[in-house]
Each structure stands twice: as C-alpha cells, then as structure tokens.
Amino acid sequence: LQVLLSAGTDTSALTTEWALALLLRNPTALSKTRAELDCHIGTRRLITETDLPNLPYLRSVIKEALRLHPVAALIPAHESNEDCTIEGFHVPKGVMLLVNLWAINRDPSLWDEAEEFRPERWEGGEGMKGKQGKVFFFGMGRRGCPGEGLAMRVMGLALGALIQSFELDADGVGVEVDLAEGSGGLLMPMAKPLRMFCKKREVVDQLGLGM
Ligand code: HEM
C-alpha cells in the first residue's frame, strides 16, 4: 500500500501542475479545453469519470504535459536478462538500464516541433511522426506502471473540474509562468511551484458546490 501511495500521489499531482502551467502559457489551448468541457458537459454539473471518453482535447493536454515534462524523466532502473543489440549497441546481460524518457519525448526525429506544446498532435492517433513507435509515458512491459488508468482518470477529473469552475490567471500574480524544471529526487517538479489566481466562474453557482 505504501508503494502505491508514494508512486501514485506526487506523480499525478506534479503532472497536473505541469499541465496547468502549460495551459496558462497557452491561453488558446486553455480556451479550447474550457469550450470542450462546456460543450460536452454544459454548465450545470461538474465533470465525472464517464465524461472523460468524450473529452479528447482534455486528454491530449494531459498527454502533452506527460510528453514535455515527464515527472518520471528517467524510467526507474531495469536490468537486461539476456545479451541483445539495440540500434547497433551491444547490451550485455545483467547491465543496469536507465531509459531517458525526457530525451525521447523531445527527440525531433520522432516528433514534429518537439519543443512546442501542441495538444492537437494527438488528435486522431499516436502523436508521433509516422508510425515510428509507441509512447511509453508510464513505462512498458511487465514492470510498466500499474496506475496508468487511474492516473489518467484522476488527472482528467482534477484538471477538468478546475477549468470548469475557475477563471485561471497567472498574470495576476505579476510573473510569467516559469517552465524551468527542478530536481526533486526521483521525480521532476517545476523549479518554481505554480502560482495562479483562481476566480470563481459564474457557472459555479449553478453547479451547486456552495462556493
Ligand atoms: C502521472 C502519473 C504517473 C506516472 C507518470 C507514472 C510513471 C511510472 C513509471 C514511468 C513507472 C516505471 C515503469 C517501468 O519501470 O517500466 C511507474 C511504476 C509504478 N507506478 Fe506509476 N506513474 C504514475 C501514477 C501512478 C499511480 C496513480 C500509481 C498507483 C496508484 C502508480 C503506481 C506505480 C507502481 C506500483 C510502480 C512500480 C511497478 C513495478 O515496478 O512493477 N503510478 N510509474
């Protein structure tokens, strides 16, 4: 249980924070996310889990946050269990393998405009150039993250509910959102934690949240 809590809490929270920061730096994407929420859910209730399949843009925003700022930037150590050759490199049995997910996620040979926050790249498919490979923001194989499904739902609900309920604004705090990456031990948080103003949207009164 302790492993599930420690592996599941900061990863989801930090990725949600990165996604909000990216949206604040990209107001058009923020408006598009809100328009999708208002169009599919309306303004009389809050997002629920069953809405998520109908919110492709929201999911794309989360994927872009996972791509540009993977909080597990170096996938935890694996070990090769037999000799093999990858792209001409000989990897002997028993070697410790650290996969640099951050570098793969920004590799211009795999992604168009790799450094750009562009949720639209995920529309209708894989996001990568051509069909070069599979994304593995949550690792892969037998030791892949067992919390992927839960994480995508929790982040979608948190982000969706915040965007439905508040006008989000970074300018009010007097500084532009700084996307510098910090080091937090195993994970990669924002160097400067996100600060923003949340102003209640008028629709919140209709949601009956008592705010
Ligand atoms: C944004 C959220 C998350 C990200 C980016 C993430 C990412 C990862 C990655 C990259 C791994 C290593 C996979 C590998 O070695 O191939 C991993 C492992 C793991 N994750 Fe997650 N994770 C997230 C959320 C969660 C949640 C919500 C839970 C559980 C509630 C969880 C539980 C675990 C556990 C137990 C492992 C170890 C699996 C093993 O070694 O067999 N994670 N995660």
Residue-wise pLDDT for 188-203, tens only, equals 999 999 999 899 987 7
- C-alpha triplet 191, 192, 195: angle, nearest 5°: 150
By mean pLDDT, which of 107-121, 140-154, 172-186 is the weakest? Answer: 172-186
Tell me the C-alpha distance between 170 and 51, whole Å: 28
pLDDT at 210 (0 to 100) = 59
pLDDT 10s digits, 60-86: 999 999 999 999 999 988 999 999 998
Tell me the C-alpha distance between 175 and 7, whole Å: 32
Non-local (6+) Cβ contacts of 65 within 8 A are: 15, 16, 18, 19, 22
pLDDT at 124 (0 to 100) = 76
Residues having CB within 6 Å of any atom of ligand 1: 3-4, 7-8, 11-12, 15, 71-72, 75-76, 137-140, 143-147, 150-151
Tell me the C-alpha distance between 15 and 197, whole Å: 19
Nearest CA to ligand 1 atom 26: 8
Does residue 120 surpass a pLDDT of 90?
Answer: yes
Pocket perturbation via mutation, ligand 1, pick of 1, 4, 64, 138 by most ligand atoms within 8 A of CB: 138
Nearest CA to ligand 1 atom 16: 139
Please report the domains of the chain, with CATH numbers, ordered by start residue: 2-70+118-132+149-207 (1.10.630.10)
The dihedral over CA atoms of 78, 79, 83, 84, expressed in degrees to the nearest 10, equals 10
- 85-114 burial: b if 16+ Cβ within 10 Å, else e: eeeeeeeeeeeeeebebbebbeeeebbeeb
Tell me the C-alpha distance between 60 and 36, whole Å: 12
Non-local (6+) Cβ contacts of 123 within 8 A are: 56, 60
pLDDT-based confidence at 130, cuts 50/70/90? Answer: low
Q: pLDDT exceeding 70 applies to what percent of the chain?
A: 91
pLDDT 10s digits, 8-60: 999 999 999 999 999 999 999 999 999 999 999 998 899 999 999 999 999 99
Report how far ligand 1's centroid is from the alpha carbon of 103 (Å): 19
Report how far ligand 1's centroid is from the alpha carbon of 208 (Å): 35
Tell me the C-alpha distance between 13 and 196, whole Å: 16
Q: How many CB atoms lie within 10 A of CB 185?
A: 7
Tell me the C-alpha distance between 81 and 95, whole Å: 8
